[in-house]
Amino acid sequence: MEFADLQNRIEELRNEIRYHNYRYYVLDEPVISDGEYDRLMGELRRIEDKHPEWITPDSPTQRTGAAPAERFSKLRHPAAILSLGNAFDEAGVRAWFDRIRKLDERVEQADFVVEPKLDGLTVVLHYQNGVFMQGATRGDGEYGEDVTSNLRTIRSLPLRVPMNGKGIEIPNSLVIRGEVFMYLKDFDDLNRRLSEAGEKTYLNPRNTAAGSLRQLDPELTASRPLTLLTYDIVASDRDLWRTDVARLKYLKDIGLPVVNHKYCEDIECAIEVSHEMAAERHDLPFEADGVVIKINDLDLASDLGVVGKDPRSAIAFKFPAVEVTTILRDIGVNVGRTGVLTPYAILEPVEISGVIVRQATLHNFDYIAEKDIRPGDRVLVKRAGDVIPYVIGPVVDVRSGDEKPYVPPQMCPVCGQQVEHIEGEVAWFCVNAACPAQIVRNIEHFVSRGAMDIVGLGIKIVEQLVGAGLVEDVADLYTLSKEELLQLEGFADKKAENLLSAIATSKTQSLSRLLTALGIRGVGEVGATELANQFKSITNLSQVTIDDLLEIEGIGPNIAQAVVDWFENPANRKVLDKLSSAGVQMEDLQAENLFTIPQVLDGKTFVITGTLPNLSRQQAKEMIEHHGGRISSSVSKNTSYLVLGESPGSKLPKAQKLGVAIINEDELRKLLG
């Protein structure tokens, strides 16, 4: 390509990637597959590698790669970053309203904005001419810590605004306030990964988010699933907004993620909405510790002034605590896929904000010892959103004296073999590879959606297969026969055939999925993709050294060691041999093939409806996309084919009406050649 063309292309790529970041991280509505996204990023990186002089700080490639800092420098906020006064009940909110009504008669007629109060870490973001320049923590309200490199790694934070180019005014200087936090689901996933790797899990999302943002090494921050929502403009050289609603809309319009909010015409509405939000707090995807009620009129808000560090114009209406006490009946122990033993609390059932809680997390054995949690104790239990409730600690004062300190099991509670402890790690392991609990969990992981994605092979069937002695390791799945399956309860011809066919289909899954599926400690989907891209085959991987692995971005010493150990283990080598002889694809054909796969579906649009006999939605989608086709979620006159499975929805009559060609899975395969 010519220079000028390349420069155009680079801009085009950046805009496209920015747009897809926005779709994915801000709107949560991606419109392309991860593979397509990776290809765009790959192309951009290649051009920037050749022309480093063209790299700009707002390029999507510039989120990671900054060097670790020795300490954070201080950053002065352009205006005081105020705090908020609290109210703990409705009377407290009314008292606040009365106070400010006496100060200014306009308050009587005031309207309000109500939004959840996020339990995260306040940040202040500086944009210069639309480009994200620096950002800081709240600190003492006047000076914060400069955590710019860490903030850049947060994908929902746009490195440049506005999202869609022209038409909206961007002040030269725009300083925005928001909250960095973790979605509960991401927090749970993070803990699950750590626990499977035998590492210490985190206690709650807030502290984890705060700790992650204040890491000196941005690479560490990048590895944590932080996200951002904004709710305020702290300073700007243009005064474009009269109301809070208008300001929030502006933030949203230029492409920032904005906290959900409700408009209220008067205080009664604001109180009602607050109660509603409190009732729904556990349905929120993040932790909130209250709602914020704010005067909508910005002039009035500013005229009301400040008391101490709290603006008079807003108040935090705190939710009641969700901690209760109950009796710890016993401590149970689960055995995970990697043999990690995880203790959990068996509780005297207790209601916490509308839900009966019977079990709670105890994190790990060290935690029990540190807090000296004893069976029989009255314990304090906390429930936060969807996060599984956890035991905060014992109420020591009410002990009867009969409670004995807890001793972790010396034997695996499932197979009875001696458990082991790895020096320096918190976890205890059952190292018996034949432990039924581990086999079941291993297979469950192997067939799961992010791994080999074998449709129809749920935990119940896995338990049946292991229980009947038909399967001792994941490779045995590939040699199952129909006759064997028919021996199992609930299996008839059709079900057996479908399962076998789904298993057979999984043989051609990508190398990265196979690597994820093998369940090497610490190697999740991201790590597996890195390994697959780098080494291209199981054979190559089985010969790598720790040094080879450490060259790869995102692979640290623990994971490198785990990979080498895994491939050295004779039992694992045997499983790999079995997988290979069963015809499971052990190489990375996909990456190179993408360019050689004939794009026979180019220009064709597909809609899928119903359940396909052998392919999951995701597989069908990938298959079509790899051959150049597009997937759409609804039928229109532009749809080329409707792929029809069992129990189709309303898409079928619509396609019939529009005269769209209707095909089944077999016919789809024929189209691909």
In the block, residue with structure tokens 């100060």: 103
Q: At what angle do helices 459-467 and 436-446 cross, to 10 degrees?
A: 140
CA-CA distance, 652 to 634, in Å (whole number)? 10
- How far are the Cα atoms of 116, 117, 311, 381 from residue 279, in angstroms, in the given order? 12, 14, 27, 20
The Cα angle at residue 182 between residues 229 and 550, in degrees rounded to 5: 120
Are the C-beta atoms of 147 and 213 separated by less than 8 Å?
Answer: yes
Smallest gap from residue 206 Cβ to ligand IVH (A)? 11
3-state SS, 480-515, equals CCHHHHHCCCCCCHHHHHHHHHHHHHHHHCCHHHHH
417 three-class SS? coil
Smallest gap from residue 232 Cβ to ligand IVH (A)? 5
Tokens coding 531: 């390994």
Are the C-beta atoms of 171 and 238 separated by less than 8 Å?
Answer: yes
390 three-class SS? strand
Q: Which residues pair with 401 in a beta bridge?
A: none
Q: Which of 50, 74, 102, 117 is catalytic?
A: 117
268 three-class SS? helix
- How far are the Cα atoms of 231, 302, 304, 316, 318 from residue 93, in angstroms, in the given order? 21, 19, 16, 9, 10
Are the C-beta atoms of 563 and 531 separated by less than 8 Å?
Answer: yes
Q: Which residues contact 583 (CB under 8 A, 6 or more apart)?
A: 478, 507
Smallest gap from residue 26 Cβ to ligand IVH (A)? 17
Q: Closest Cα to residue 553, out of 223, 226, 224, 225?
A: 223
Q: Closest Cα to residue 244, out of 233, 254, 255?
A: 233
Tokens coding 600: 């026979």
The Cα angle at residue 45 between residues 44 and 51, in degrees rounded to 5: 90
Whichever of 183 and 231 has its CB closer to ligand IVH, that residue is 231
Whichever of 318 and 604 has its CB closer to ligand IVH, that residue is 318
Whichever of 286 and 446 has its CB closer to ligand IVH, that residue is 286
Residue 549: CB atoms within 10 Å:
22
Catalytic residue flag (residue 117): yes
CA-CA distance, 385 to 357, in Å (whole number)? 13
CA-CA distance, 199 to 419, in Å (whole number)? 16
Which residue's beta carbon is nearest to the bound ligand IVH? 122
- How far are the Cα atoms of 338, 381, 406 from residue 367, in angstroms, in the given order? 20, 14, 11
Q: Does an H or E element contain 346, and which?
A: strand 340-352
CA-CA distance, 516 to 184, in Å (whole number)? 23
Interface positions with ligand IVH (CB under 6 A): 82-84, 115, 117-118, 122, 179, 231-232, 259, 292, 311, 314, 316
Smallest gap from residue 265 Cβ to ligand IVH (A)? 20
Single-letter residue type at 484: E
In the block, residue with structure tokens 């890491």: 215
Q: What is 43-83 written as a DSSP string? A: HHHHHHHH-GGG--TTSGGGGS-PPPPSSPPEEE-SS----
Whichever of 314 and 562 has its CB closer to ligand IVH, that residue is 314
What's the length of the chain?
673
Smallest gap from residue 175 Cβ to ligand IVH (A)? 13
Whichever of 231 and 317 has its CB closer to ligand IVH, that residue is 231
Whichever of 187 and 231 has its CB closer to ligand IVH, that residue is 231
Q: What is 633-648 written as a DSSP string? A: SS--TT--EEEE-BS-
Whichever of 156 and 609 has its CB closer to ligand IVH, that residue is 156
- How far are the Cα atoms of 4, 25, 589 from residue 543, in angstroms, in the given order? 44, 38, 19
Tokens coding 532: 């697959």
Smallest gap from residue 94 Cβ to ligand IVH (A)? 20
Whichever of 131 and 210 has its CB closer to ligand IVH, that residue is 210
The Cα angle at residue 149 between residues 146 and 153, in degrees rounded to 5: 130
Active-site positions read: 117
